[in-house]
Amino acid sequence: MTFQAVAVVRCIEEAMALCMLQINMIAAAVAHAYSRPDLAQFIFAAPKRFSCKSEDEVEDPHPLTAFGHKHHPTPRGPVTPPMPALAPLLPLQGLKPESTRVLQYLTDLYRMAMLEKKRPAGRLYRDDEIVTFIFASHRLGSALTAQTSLADEQRLLGSDFDIDGLHHRGTQITLVTEFAAMCARWSFGNAKLMNACAMVSTSLRTAFWLWLEDDDRAMALLRCTLEQIARVKVWHTKPSKAERLETNPATTPRDWIVEAGWRRLAALNRAFGEFAHAHTNPRWDGARLLLVELQIDPDSDTASRTGRRAALKLMATLVARTCVELIEAEYSATIGSTARRLFAEHMGFDMTPGDRSLDTILDHIWQYRSHPLVQTPYPITTIEQKKSQTPGDPR
């Protein structure tokens, strides 16, 4: 096997191990629910991997094998970030103590090698190893910030703080994006539709992960989600029109949104678009305020903090509805109707057939189609100005 193939196999193995771990935990929970704590403990204590390495296997290139060793040989294959550095920042995933310990360990290796000029592995690190350590260091900073934000939210909400709601939202997004990915796999006969479904899946999942990190770039990703799910809807409902739009070089993302029947989402798309651009006069604060205004009946005490969350939920709803309609009409009425019940009864999405059920939301957003995006000025104070200011100076 080539080193590249080993890296791919490792990624697949990590994904499978994650699935097996989830099954293991669910089985333990079921045993506990049936008053069998002994069986639950036995299941939970089972090995979380498929097998142990034999002594004659090739040296593991994973950076964490350096734990407890004064000398760590040069890896024979490429080094990639471990799963804790790639997991979303949810309390039971990227924020759990085991994950942050791994990130802290890799960060310490980076600091010792780069700042203290030490050799923790008894040798010089390769470039891919250093890049992995740097990546983990950035992820540690994001994780610590997320933990602080959760603590602040808990103090703000008090008894209303519900961490389970965050995990539920993660489950919602995961199911919706996996369903969109399934639509992509099933649409292999139409490359344009397949690409659109795949873009919907990956952009929405990425937007959720960035939203967990309180990163405005999540909204830039949602712009892609909106454009591509509109493209999916047009291919489903107006295939001849979709073909003409695809072949016309003058077609804009707005054309897809209008043809999908979502012209009333213009204000939302404008807010998303503002986050998608970096220039000298950003209006990101104005876009945030617009997202706050686009909410329907928000809690007055927390409305200023929930604009991006509401936008994320609306996009997930549009994706769920559109993909279910596509599956029902083109591939399997049984699977489509089952997914519709799943999303409605267990995930909390409005899955009523037809866009009329969304009229209240769409009409509300349409009212803000001309709402200005106010640019918040950021005054720059020079060193000379600071020196001239005295305590109490109103400047």
pLDDT in tens, 166-218: 888 999 999 999 999 999 999 988 999 999 999 999 999 999 999 998 889 99
Is 59 domain-assigned? no
Is 57 domain-assigned? no
Is 63 domain-assigned? no
Cα–Cα distance measured from residue 226 to residue 316, given in angstroms and rounded to the nearest whole number: 10
Tell whether 131 and 188 lie within a shared domain.
Answer: no
Mean pLDDT of 365-375: 88
Is 24 domain-assigned? yes
Joined tokens for residue 195:
């690409």
pLDDT tens column, 304-320: 888 999 999 999 999 99
Is 134 domain-assigned? yes
Q: What are the contacts of 256-263 at 24+ separation with CB within 8 A?
A: 256/227, 256/230, 256/231, 257/226, 257/227, 257/230, 259/230, 259/234, 260/229, 260/230, 260/231, 260/233, 260/234, 261/233, 261/355, 262/226, 262/230, 262/233, 262/318, 262/355, 262/362
Tell whether 205 and 351 lie within a shared domain.
Answer: yes
Total domains in the chain come to 3
Cα–Cα distance measured from residue 14 to residue 17, given in angstroms and rounded to the nearest whole number: 5
Tell whether 6 and 114 lie within a shared domain.
Answer: no
Tell whether 172 and 152 lie within a shared domain.
Answer: no
Tell whether 120 and 177 lie within a shared domain.
Answer: no
Tell whether 171 and 288 lie within a shared domain.
Answer: yes
Out of 125, 140, 161, a domain closes at 161
Its sign, for the CA torsion 26, 204, 208, 370, is: negative
Is 61 domain-assigned? no
pTM for this predicted structure? 0.74
Cα–Cα distance measured from residue 308 to residue 374, given in angstroms and rounded to the nearest whole number: 17
Tell whether 124 and 186 lie within a shared domain.
Answer: no
Nearest to 212 by CA among 297, 90, 395, 377: 90
Tell whether 116 and 152 lie within a shared domain.
Answer: yes
> Residue 109 — pLDDT band, cuts 50, 70, 90?
very high
Nearest to 354 by CA among 342, 366, 368, 340: 340
Is 67 domain-assigned? no
Q: How far is CA 224 from the centre of its chain?
A: 13
DSSP H helices, 34-162, are 37-44, 83-86, 97-114, 127-157
- Please name the amino acid found at residue 382: T
Tell whether 45 and 4 lie within a shared domain.
Answer: yes
Give residue 124's domain range: 79-161
Tell whether 176 and 290 lie within a shared domain.
Answer: yes
pLDDT tens column, 123-167: 889 999 999 999 999 999 999 999 998 888 888 888 888 888 888
Out of 136, 161, 186, a domain closes at 161
Out of 111, 146, 161, a domain closes at 161
Tell whether 314 and 171 lie within a shared domain.
Answer: yes
Tell whether 193 and 154 lie within a shared domain.
Answer: no
Identify whether the C-beta of residue 360 lies closer than 8 Å to the C-beta of residue 262: no
Residues 6+ apart with CB under 8 A from 107: 133, 136, 137, 140
Nearest to 320 by CA among 177, 149, 155: 177
Is 65 domain-assigned? no
